[in-house]
Structure 1
Amino acid sequence: MATAPADAIETHPRLKILPPPSPPPVERHASARSPVAPPAASAPPPTWFRQLAPRCVAHWPLKAFAIPLFVTAFFAAYFQLLRYPVFPVTMMPLTTIDRLIGFHPVALLPYAALWLYVFLAPALLQGRREIAVYTAEVIALTGTALGFFHFWPTAVPPPAFDTTLHPLLAFLKNVDATGNACPSLHVAFAIFTAIWLARFLRVAAAPAAWHLLNAATAAAIVYSTLATKQHVAVDMFAGIALGAAAACVAPRSLTAATSTAGRNQFRNRLMLAFTVSLSGKLTLLALGPDLTGPVAIALLFVIPDLWILALVGLQFYRRCRPPLA
Structure 2
Amino acid sequence: MWRKLCGHFDYTDTHSFGKNLLYRLWVWWCLKAVGSMSFITLFFVLYFYLLTHHYFYVTVIPATVMDEWISFNGSWLYFYLSLWVYVSLPPALTKSKKELLQYGVYAAILSLIGIFFYIFFPTTIQQNSADWGGSADMIWLKSMDMGGNAFPSMHVASAFFSFIWLNYQLKQMRGGKILYALSFLWCCAIIYSTLAVKQHLFIDVIGGLILGGSVALVTLRYHTKTF
TM range (shorter): 0.7 to 0.9
Q: Distance in 1 between matches of 2:161 and 2:115?
A: 16
Q: Please, which of 94, 99, 117 is the counterpart of residue 130 of structure 1?
A: 99
Give the C-alpha shift of residue 156 in structure 1: 1.1
| Aligned mates of 2:19, 2:209 — CA distance in 1 | 32
Asked if the contact 1:159–1:229 (Cα under 8 Å) also holds between the matched residues in 2, the reply is no
Could you tell me whether the CA contact under 8 Å between 1:110 and 1:221 is conserved in 2?
yes
The separation in 2 between residues aligned to 1:177 and 1:164, in whole angstroms, is: 17
Give how far 1:211 is off.
Answer: 0.4
Identity of counterpart residues, as a percentage? 35
Aligned to 1:115: 84
Instruction: Indicate yes or no: 2:182 matched with 1:213.
Output: yes
Q: Give the structure 1 partner of residue 167 of structure 2.
A: 198
Matching residue's letter, 2:145? D
Quick check: 1:153 aligned with 2:122? yes
Partner in structure 1 of residue 196 of structure 2: 227
Residues 203 and 254 in structure 1, CA contact (< 8 A), matched pair in contact too? no
Q: Which residue of 1 aligns with 2:60?
A: 91
Which residue matches 1:68?
A: 37
Aligned partner letter, 1:168: D
Q: Distance in 2 between matches of 1:162 and 1:61?
A: 42
Deviation at 1:162, TM superposition (A): 4.6
What whole-Å deviation, never above 9, does each CA across 1:210-243 have from its counterpart, x for those lacking one?
1011000000100000011000011000000111
| Whole-Å separation in 1 of the counterparts to 2:35 and 2:79 | 26
Alignment partner, residue 7 of structure 2: none
Shift of 1:65: 2.9
**1:180 aligns to 2:149 (yes or no):** yes
Q: Distance in 2 between matches of 1:254 and 1:109?
A: 37
Q: Please give the secondary structure, in 2, of the residue aligned with 1:161.
A: helix
Pick the structure with more helix per residue.
Answer: 2
Q: TM-score, normalised by structure 1?
A: 0.61
Letter in 2 for 1:102: S
The answer as to whether partners of 2:28 and 2:97 remain within 8 angstroms in 1 is no
One-letter amino acid of the counterpart of residue 194, structure 1 = F
Q: 1:162 to 1:216 in 2, by over 3 A?
A: closer
Q: Quote the offset at 1:160 in angstroms.
A: 6.8
Task: Tell me how far 1:129 sits from its aligned partner.
Answer: 4.4
Q: Post-superposition shift, 1:132?
A: 3.9
Task: Specify the SS of the correspondent of 2:190.
Answer: helix
Q: 1:252 corresponds to which letter in structure 2?
A: T
- 1:252 equivalent to 2:224? Answer yes
SS of equivalent to 1:214: helix
| 1:14-53 alignment runs, 5 A limit | 46-53=15-22
Q: Distance in 2 between matches of 1:216 and 1:142?
A: 23
> Do residues 241 (structure 1) and 213 (structure 2) align?
no
TM-aligned CA deviation for residue 96 of structure 1: 1.1
Unaligned 5+ runs, structure 2: 1-13
Match of 2:51 among 78, 82, 96: 82
Counterpart position of 1:167: 136
2:66–2:202 Cα contact (<8 Å) kept: yes
Q: Which gives a bigger RCO, structure 1 or 2 (Cα 8 Å, sep 6+)?
A: 2
When the two structures are aligned, how many residues end up with a matched partner? 211
- Quick check: 67-76 or 92-101, which moved more? 67-76
Alignment check: 8 A CA contact 1:190 1:218 kept: yes
What's the RMSD between the two structures over aligned residues?
1.9
- Name 1:289's counterpart in structure 2: none
**Distance in 1 (alpha carbons) for counterparts of 2:38 and 2:101:** 16
Note the C-alpha offset of 1:61.
3.4
Which residue identity is paired with 1:174?
S
2: CA distance between counterparts of 1:205 and 1:72?
32
